[in-house]
Structure 1
Amino acid sequence: MNWSLHFLGVGAAHAVELGSSAVVLERDGEPLLLIDCGPDTLDRYQAAYGQPPEALYITHTHMDHVGGMERLFFRLWFDEAWRGRTKLFVHAGLMPWLQARVADYPNVLAEGGVNFWEAFRLVPCTRGFWLDGLWFDVFGTRHHMAGTSYGVALAGSFAYTGDTRPIPEVLARVAAGTELIAHDCGLVGNPSHTGIDDIERDYPEAWRSRFRLYHYGSEADGQVLASRGYAIARTGERVSLPEPAPARPEAG
């Protein structure tokens, strides 16, 4: 089998020309899992695959990562073939925030009678989740307040950090082999995001060839990161992945 990450968007919240950061895990060219759903993600996904996502994982609830979920609700609810079909994986600790952000407005339909989550197949998780026979590890990241952001990893294949400060001790656990590491990185870090100096200070040099940096601030910023010898993710790019490791019997 061939595995890849398809970067639908790679930009920081203000870098609208780069698209909202979101990726699709593909198996033999077919979408398996969408990670995050920003304001423009659904359009990009449907342009690529001609249908809504069958599975979606949310890293955290900032609007550049969940701002497309209302549109996804309407796309699913008004198509009986899709209503209640899309699996939505979200860490259980994020549910109050996600509920408040996207699902709690009175009457998701003007006519009433519909609950937001009825359009989805909601799957809360903590340590991880099963999808199509594969175990995905969910891990805490460092973005704003503790307990509000979570990355996802597929052993042997990839780790996707979502928005985060450096987390070397976590990645050493979930991506200790040859996995590709898609990592939040801009030119300058701040209390909620990683900068290139953070990468060079906090991660072993041997890891750097496995990084694919995204969530940068502009095309120019991306070029600077690339000029420093780092691989950056580009909007629309597909990056080949190693074959996932067999699912662990104790997982789940």
Structure 2
Amino acid sequence: MSWHLHFLGTGAAHAVELGSSSAVLERDGKPMLLIDCGPDTLDRYYAAYAEPPRNVYITHTHMDHVGGLERLFTRVWFDEALRGKTRVFAHAALVPWLQTRVADYPGVLAEGGVNYWEAFRLVPCSRGFWLDGFWFDVFATRHHRPGTSFGLALHGSFAFTGDTRPIPEVLAQYADGEALIAHDCGLVGNPSHTGIDDIEREYDEGMRARLVLYHYGSKADGEALSARGYRIARAGQRVALVDPSPLRADAG
């Protein structure tokens, strides 16, 4: 069995030329889970897989991470084979924000008579969720207000932080061993995002060696991060993952 993390886009909100930050977990070359769905994510997903995603995980509700959900609604609603079957996984604390920012606009269809969530299978979670027999851990990150941003991990294989400040103690729990860490990082940090100086201050050498940095501010910023010896994600790149480890006793 082979596992890859396919980065569809790697840019910060203003870095439109790099694409909205999102990734697809692939198993044996097939898409298993889309992580985040920004304004241009579906175009990139269709280009790669020629079909809409069947499973989506949302890290938080800033529009560069959820702006494509309205278009996904239209795509699956008008296909009876897909309607009500696309799963949207999100921490329970995000459900009110998803409802407010995405689902509650009057007239989801001009003809009326349709509720937004009828197009999907919304799967709220807290500690994590099951998908195709695998347990995915969900963990809080540091991005704006507490309780509004959550990363994702597959034990022993990878962790995807979403937008965050440094969280070394969290990643020590959820991304131990050889697990790859896809981490928010720009050339310069701010109160809501990690900068390279934060990485070098907060993470030890062993953890830094497993980082793949994304959500940077420009192509030039990415090259500057690379020049400092860090691996950066590039749009369209597939990064090989180690196979998931057996479930921990507390999983599920």
Tell whether the 8 Å contact from 1:21 to 1:65 is kept in structure 2 after alignment: yes
1:107 deviation in Å?
Answer: 1.5
Percent identity between the two aligned chains: 75
Alignment-derived partner of residue 138 in structure 1:
138
- 1:42-89 CA-to-partner distances (Å, cap 9, x unmatched) read 111011001111100000000000000000000000000110111110
Alignment of 1:127-206 (within 5 A): 127-206=127-206
Aligned residues: 252
Alignment-derived partner of residue 95 in structure 2:
95
SS in 2 for 1:32: strand
In 2: Cα distance, 1:242 partner to 1:57 partner: 21
- 1:95-122 CA-to-partner distances (Å, cap 9, x unmatched) read 1111000000111001111000010011
1:172 deviation in Å?
Answer: 0.6
Alignment-derived partner of residue 82 in structure 2:
82
**Letter of the structure 1 residue corresponding to residue 166 of structure 2:** P
TM-score if structure 2 supplies the norm length?
Answer: 0.99
Alignment-derived partner of residue 230 in structure 1:
230
- 1:200-226 CA-to-partner distances (Å, cap 9, x unmatched) read 000011111100000000000000000
Tell whether the 8 Å contact from 1:178 to 1:242 is kept in structure 2 after alignment: yes
Residue 240 (str. 1) matches residue 235 (str. 2): no
Tell whether the 8 Å contact from 1:37 to 1:65 is kept in structure 2 after alignment: yes
In 1: Cα distance, 2:247 partner to 2:51 partner: 28
* Structure 1 runs not aligned, ≥5 long: none
1:249 deviation in Å?
Answer: 5.0
Tell whether the 8 Å contact from 1:135 to 1:248 is kept in structure 2 after alignment: no
In 2: Cα distance, 1:55 partner to 1:250 partner: 24
1:247 deviation in Å?
Answer: 2.6
In 2: Cα distance, 1:206 partner to 1:120 partner: 40
**Letter of the structure 2 residue corresponding to residue 101 of structure 1:** R
Alignment-derived partner of residue 36 in structure 1:
36
In 2: Cα distance, 1:8 partner to 1:172 partner: 26
SS in 1 for 2:84: coil
1:246 deviation in Å?
Answer: 1.9
Alignment-derived partner of residue 48 in structure 1:
48
In 2: Cα distance, 1:246 partner to 1:207 partner: 21
In 1: Cα distance, 2:176 partner to 2:29 partner: 26
* Structure 2 runs not aligned, ≥5 long: none
In 1: Cα distance, 2:17 partner to 2:196 partner: 21
